[in-house]
Structure 1
Amino acid sequence: MASLADSFQLKGLELKNRIVMPPMCQYSVEAKDGKPNDWHFVHYVSRAIGGTGLIIMEMTDVEPDGRITDYDLGLWSDEQIPAFRRIISEVHKYGAKIGIQIAHAGRKAEDAAVPVAPSPIPFNANYKRPRALTTAEVKEMVQKFQDAARRAVEAGVDTLEIHGAHGYLIHQFHSPLTNQRDDVYGRDLTRFGVEVIEAVKAVIPAEMPLIMRISAVEYVAGGYGLEYAIELCRRYKQAGIDLFHISSGGEGPIGSRRPGAHPGYQVPFARAIKEALQVPVIAVGNLDDPLLAEAVLGNGDADLVGVARGMLRDPYWALHALQAVSGHARDAAPKQYHAAFPS
């Protein structure tokens, strides 16, 4: 039995295999209303048919000005719930589980007239200068994350992911480079993230695991390293995170810490956090080769593997990977496709 094909259970979430489709922005909302449409329906449901164990829907924002662009998804209104529910319900028909990544772009909100951030520091010279949130507005932002989480639960998700990576708002708060506040959210750089976690935990079912995506290292000059990220994750685990999704970078122009782009380049980060905190993790980073993805699991580097661009190229990556590493994928395929996967 291949490790990729192993089931996985965490609290009330049970996955049929260890393969994850990570969040990938599609920038495809037609009416700029934040609602997923037929493109998103086909995009996600096809990966469920293709055998993926867990699908995490793309960055979905808690307010209109929290989007990277006006073509991103949102959950700032109850009117958006039915469009998400339609996709989630169909994904479930094919045995996949599905979550939503809730987020706010902060200073990386390209279409906001005036982006907001912990401190008025632009992402780079090509981005708008953001306005620093007041202390009261930060508390209001926590409420917006909670409201989005409630809507996701109403839409039928199996899990939720909080986006604390890639230079978006929560990352901006917990990075010393971008948080230069002198209030309570500046004296404790994890406070905003912790309050978001606690607020989300209050409105999701007790048996639903909560995921957080983290950048394990910053590549910008003077950015934080892995040991700092481990302490971030320690605080976030204490606040209620059950599973960490380990990525890196995204916070600014790449400095001397330029990462490699070789297959599996981020896997050591996942393993380090898993070992330090004894917490399950999702590893990502050019894991498109099924044998590499299998090795990551077989070596104990991670509990789940996220395959992003590989799934953009091949909606049936999971079935093809299971076939490649074990010689059979019939049990993972829908019955309509069994002729293509003999036992």
Structure 2
Amino acid sequence: MSAAPAAFATLFQPYTLRSVTIPNRIWMAPMCQYSAEAFGPNAGVAHDWHFTHYAARATGGTGLIIQEATAVSPEGRISPYDLGIWNDTQVEALRRITTFVKAQGSVPGIQIGHAGRKASTDRTWKGGAPVGPDGDGWLPSAPSPVPFAEGHPVPHELTVEEIREITDQFAAAAGRALAAGYEVLEIHGAHGYLIGEFLSPHSNRRTDSYGGSFENRTRFAVEVVDAVRAVWPEELPLFFRISATDWLDGDGWTADETVRLADLLREHGVDLLDVSTGGLAPHVKIPVGPGYQVPFAARVKAETTLPAAAVGLITEPEQAEKILANGEADAVLLGRELLRDPYWARRAARELGAEIPVPNPYHRSW
């Protein structure tokens, strides 16, 4: 990589958390590819599709690349075709990705998660319907025996012992992520998957120490953070992805609770909140539009001491720059837009008059 002058645009200013400096504020949101093998010794193992997918965004100038939700256990996969990080074979394949991403000047990150009651579904392009034990799937687990939607199975209600086993699986996954070469780790607490299911009273009907009050509903999230932080090195940043609201009236997780949880997560070693919304319940009314989730990140920034990243229909460079310049977020996370254009960061640099490093073989085109 050849050096380039520092950019004046906020979007291209470096951002440092703990010992890690991310070269710009254009970050790739985790997006499942549903492209791993489902069974056998290579189940959940990254292959050429995953390498090419992440390598393209690194050569495209993306500052931080957060790998898709990677399951902490086979039962924690959203689909049988998800990536996993529950064994060392998976680690070896992931190391190939992190090595290349670092060589391009980007920072490799990974999101680890458990799908809870939304586990064991088909690939999205095949409809994403539940896949049961009589097919290629399994019975999902959850805080309470409340199905995600009509046509979905009633999940197994986790015992306290099983909750602790899953907490240990998150910690083990963090250790493997370190061995694989990742420099940023994100815990998936959003979109109605297991941690989010514990947070929301809509899906958490427990009457023990993991249900009811705010303190009880957030207990699992905090215990996972503590277990992960005990393994994840002090010098490396830890993110937490949250759905800031379930978009439900009356019995859902709320923006006020997100603000309250942000301060709690900060106390337990989380360095940044990745702020999304929704995913817990189907058929809710969401006012989708450009930047529609940015106000939730802005609240976290304004009302807590925890840094926040914004996501959600951020598609244009000037839009992204304005979000950062206005202090609404510390970084922007691009999802579908980076699927459409792996070189979005380079287009943004041209439009905003900034300069970013270019791989030497590409200099003739810059």
TM class by smaller structure = over 0.9
Deviations 1:243-285 (A, max 9, x none): 0000000000233xx2222111111100001111122111011
What is the SS of the residue equivalent to 2:100?
helix
**1:189 paired residue number:** 217
Identify the residue that residue 237 of structure 2 maps to in structure 1: 209
Which of 11, 15, 21 lines up with 1:14 in the alignment? 21
Match of 1:41 among 25, 46, 51: 51
- Which is further off, 76-85 or 45-54? 76-85
Provide the residue aligned with 2:111 in structure 1.
101
Cα deviation for residue 339 of structure 1 reads 2.2
Tell me the distance in 2 between the aligned counterparts of 1:233 and 1:254.
27
Q: 2:283 aligns with which of 231, 235, 254?
A: 254
How many angstroms apart in 1 are the aligned matches of 2:82 and 2:218? 26
Question: Residue 219 of structure 1 contacts residue 253 of structure 1 at CA under 8 Å; is this kept in 2?
Answer: no
1:242 aligns with 2:271: yes
Question: Do the aligned residues in 2 keep the contact of 1:319 with 1:332 (CA within 8 Å)?
Answer: no
Q: Secondary structure at the match of 2:329?
A: coil
- How far did 1:231 drift? 1.3
Cα offset, 1:129, TM superposition:
1.0
Residue from 161, 167, 171 that aligns with 1:146: 171
Q: Quote the offset at 1:199 in angstroms.
A: 0.4
Deviation at 1:220, TM superposition (A): 3.4
2:326 matched residue in structure 1 = 299
Q: Per the alignment, in what secondary structure is the counterpart of residue 279 of structure 1? A: coil
The alignment's TM-score, normalised by the length of structure 2, stands at: 0.90
State how far apart, in whole Å, the 2-side matches of 1:138 and 1:31 are: 24
* Contact in 2 for aligned 1:220/1:251 (Cα 8 Å): no
The residue that corresponds to 2:314 in the other structure is: 287
Structure-2 separation of matches of 1:116 and 1:31: 19
Q: Which runs of 5+ in 1 are unaligned?
A: none
Task: Specify the SS of the correspondent of 1:184.
Answer: coil
SS at match of 1:9: strand
Counterpart code for 2:364 = A
Q: Does 1:314 align with 2:321?
A: no
**Quick one: percent identity of the two aligned structures?**
48
Q: Which amino acid aligns with 1:303?
A: D
Give the letter aligned to residue 189 of structure 1.
R
Q: Which amino acid aligns with 2:195?
A: I
Which of 14, 36, 40 does residue 29 from structure 1 map onto? 36
2:147 to 105, 122, 146: 122
Deviations 1:157-212 (A, max 9, x none): 01100000000000001111111112221251111010100000011111111000
CA distance in 2, matches of 1:107, 1:45: 32
- Equivalent residue letter for 1:197: V
- The 3-state SS of whatever aligns with 2:139 is coil
Whole-Å separation in 2 of the counterparts to 1:145 and 1:13: 22
- Counterpart of 1:134 in structure 2 is 159
Rounded Cα–Cα distance in structure 2 between residues aligned with 1:336 and 1:224: 49
In structure 2, the partner of 1:324 is 351
Match of 1:335 in 2: 360
Report the Cα distance in structure 2 between the residues aligned to 1:31 and 1:190, rounded to whole angstroms: 32
3-state SS in 2 of match to 1:161: strand
- Which residue of structure 2 lines up, in the alignment, with residue 265 of structure 1? 292
> Could you report, residue by residue, the CA deviation over 1:119-140 in whole angstroms, capped at 9, with x for unpaired residues?
0000001211101000111011
Higher deviation after alignment, 217-226 or 59-68: 217-226
* Gaps in structure 2 of 5+ consecutive residues: 1-7, 122-130, 132-136
Where in structure 2 are the equivalents of 1:213-228 lying within 5 Å?
A: 213-222=241-250, 223-228=252-257
Q: Distance in 1 between matches of 2:311 and 2:48?
A: 27
Q: Give the root-mean-square deviation of aligned CA atoms.
A: 1.2
Specify which of 50, 70, 78 is matched with residue 88 of structure 2: 78
Task: State the shift of 1:340 in Å.
Answer: 2.1
Is 1:230–1:273's contact at 8 Å kept on the other side of the alignment? yes
3-state DSSP of counterpart to 2:309: strand
Query: Match of 1:70, as an amino acid?
Result: P
Aligned letter for 2:33? Answer: Q
Paired residues, number:
337
- Answer 1 or 2: higher relative contact order, Cα 8 Å, separation at least 6: 2
**What is aligned with 1:59?**
69
Q: TM-score, normalised by structure 1?
A: 0.96
Amino acid at match of 1:304: A
Aligned to 2:193, which of 158, 165, 168?
A: 168
1:5 maps to which of 3, 9, 12: 12
Tell me if structure 2 keeps the 8 A contact 1:62–1:74: yes
